[in-house]
A and B are shown apart, each in its own frame.
Chain A
Amino acid sequence: MRYIAVGCCLLTLIACKREVREVRPSPAVSGILGDAGAESALRPAGEMAHQNIVNPYEGNAYAISEGQRLFNWYNCSGCHANGGGGIGPPLIKKDQRDWIYGGEPSNIFDTIMKGRPNGMPTWGAKIPEYQVWQIVTYVRSLSRLEPKSATPARSDTLEQKTSTIRPDEKGAAH
């Protein structure tokens, strides 16, 4: 009986990573304006050691929902729609090869922070880093690269449109 009780107490310590809601920025990530996610280790003057940049919010449901919010707030939808693309390329990728600059978290982080040719702005000077990681996690979730259990099944604002439910012009009831 005792062992069961202890076991249960230990289980609580697992505190499922998916469910954690970290509201404070993760202090671990800072000052990455260098080559966060190089596509290859090759560079002039020999190989470079890969920096091991890890997404602190990998698999975290709260981060994905925050990323979803920020994706709309910072107007990523303006170019990428809700993942379908428009001015910018679609972010819903069927295949790893469809990522132009790589689909690893560090690659996407780099894309957002430093910008890319042909129109992707540099957001590194504006958006706080922890929020960029949240957006990274969300973008990956669009292509089912995040655990399904952490990804919401739908957005609440799939298509922004005015609702048809309104009181009539004379106002509601009497």
Chain B
Amino acid sequence: MTQSVWHASGYNAAQIRELAIFFGLLLTAIFLIVEVVALLVLRRRHRGIQQEPLEASHQPGSGTESKLRTVVGISTAVTVLILFGLTILSVSVGKAVTASVAPAGSLKVEVTGKQWWWAVRYASDDASRVLLTANEIHIPVGRPIAMKGEAEDVIHSFWVPSLQGKRDLIPGRTTQEWLQASQPGEYRGQCAEFCGLQHAHMAFWVIAEPADQFQAWFDHQLQPAVEPTDEETQRGRAIFLRSACSLCHAIRGTDAAAQVGPDLTHFGSRRTIAAGTLPNNKGNLAGWIADPQTIKPGTHMATVAIQSAEMQPLIDYLESLK
């Protein structure tokens, strides 16, 4: 799984990685110089019997003092110059890659952090092309994405290291950043601001695809939910609608339209369940619905008593929502 600053597949993350390598090498060199001097100092130490009483004070001559002053002075000046340079470098890279304002022609995506999942909204001027989904963000390769971030409850932080640095999602504010994938791939991100009991299990996926594949995905996601084809899945839909599920979850094309939980219209097409916690398959889904508190203790997903005879049709239906 790629969730790494080093595996930088985005334009922004790649720049940051270059900066990190430069900083790392330079600062490691400085560190080694200091340590080598320390070791040389150690070599010059007074040896001898440990118990020997320490001699009286020993003042070096003024020649030594002035030489030392010169060395310390030069070292300080060099330090100042290096730090000044690093500051300038850092600010200019920051302006280029971590600014809030996105380049023109960006795809607009809005992310709302909620305890403990991600509500995703693809914005559009055309209301019929606004897409609501959850936990999995598809983006076209090579096009900048303007991310707007909000939070519903507590402070969260949107971080997908392979693509960009993080941005906090703060209730009452809208934060912005932009990112861009340079190559196709699947990148995992995770919430990076402590947000309560299940902060550890609040992940998401960013799937970067070639533009045409992305468009196909997007257009398909805009469609209402797949109609159930056989009796099993029809039963599953009925179970979904009459149980507590529809109190929180929406499936477009049915009567379920609640917004407080993740949108499930195309749930079957997602790679993970419970915000990146489990791979999406029937077994995990059954476990999640039957007892969410074992997988994510404290989650706001209700523990709904689904009879064992009803579980199979229900998960068949949900997995059919491709």
A and B touch in the complex (CB under 8 A): yes
From the candidates A126, A163, A172, name the one contacting B172 in the complex (CB within 8 A). A163
A171 at the interface (CB under 8 A from B): yes
What chain A residues lie within 8 Å of B175 (beta carbons)?
A: 172
A125 at the interface (CB under 8 A from B): yes
From the candidates A23, A125, A165, A173, name the one contacting B293 in the complex (CB within 8 A). A23
B34 at the interface (CB under 8 A from A): no
Interface residues in B236-265 by Cβ distance below 8 A to A read: 242-244, 247-248, 260
B101 at the interface (CB under 8 A from A): yes
Chain A residue total in the interface (Cβ 8 A) = 23
Please determine whether B176 and A128 come into contact, CB atoms closer than 8 angstroms.
Answer: no
B131 at the interface (CB under 8 A from A): no
Taking CB as reference atom, which chain A residue is nearest B292? A23
What chain B residues lie within 8 Å of A73 (beta carbons)?
A: 247-248, 260
Minimum distance in angstroms from B310 CB to a CB of chain A: 14
From the candidates A125, A126, A128, A171, name the one contacting B303 in the complex (CB within 8 A). A128
Q: Mark B120-158, 1 if CB is under 8 A from A, else 0.
A: 000000000000000000000000000000000100000
The CA-CA distance from A127 to B260 in the complex, in Å, is 14
B46 at the interface (CB under 8 A from A): no
Interface size class of B (residues with CB under 8 A): 20 to 34
Taking CB as reference atom, which chain A residue is nearest B170? A165
B20 at the interface (CB under 8 A from A): no
From the candidates B102, B172, B243, name the one contacting A165 in the complex (CB within 8 A). B172
Interface of B is mostly: loop
Q: Mark A133-174, 1 if CB is under 8 A from B, else 0.
A: 000000000000000000000001000000101110011111
The CA-CA distance from A174 to B305 in the complex, in Å, is 53
Please determine whether A24 and B176 come into contact, CB atoms closer than 8 angstroms.
Answer: no
Please determine whether B303 and A25 come into contact, CB atoms closer than 8 angstroms.
Answer: yes
Known: A24-B293, A128-B304, A131-B302. Contact between A174 and B101, CB under 8 A?
A: yes
Please determine whether A170 and B101 come into contact, CB atoms closer than 8 angstroms.
Answer: yes
A93 at the interface (CB under 8 A from B): no
From the candidates B95, B153, B299, B300, name the one contacting A174 in the complex (CB within 8 A). B95
From the candidates B102, B248, B297, name the one contacting A171 in the complex (CB within 8 A). B102
Interface residues in B157-182 by Cβ distance below 8 A to A read: 171-176
What chain B residues lie within 8 Å of A23 (beta carbons)?
A: 197, 293, 297-299
What chain B residues lie within 8 Å of A127 (beta carbons)?
A: 244, 247, 302
A69 at the interface (CB under 8 A from B): yes
Minimum distance in angstroms from B262 CB to a CB of chain A: 13
B89 at the interface (CB under 8 A from A): no
Please determine whether B302 and A167 come into contact, CB atoms closer than 8 angstroms.
Answer: no
B15 at the interface (CB under 8 A from A): no
Please determine whether B247 and A167 come into contact, CB atoms closer than 8 angstroms.
Answer: no
A109 at the interface (CB under 8 A from B): no
| Other A-B pairs, 8, CB within 8 Å; known A125-B242, A127-B302 | A23-B298, A69-B300, A73-B247, A74-B247, A128-B304, A128-B305, A166-B173, A173-B99
Of the A-B pairs whose beta carbons lie under 8 Å apart in the complex, a sample of 11, sorted by A's number, is A23-B298, A24-B303, A25-B303, A125-B242, A156-B153, A156-B171, A163-B173, A166-B174, A167-B174, A171-B101, A174-B101
Residues of B within 8 A of A (CB): 95, 99-102, 153, 171-176, 197, 242-244, 247-248, 260, 293, 297-300, 302-305
User: What 4 A-B pairs come out closest when comparing CB atoms?
Assistant: A171-B101, A172-B100, A163-B172, A73-B260
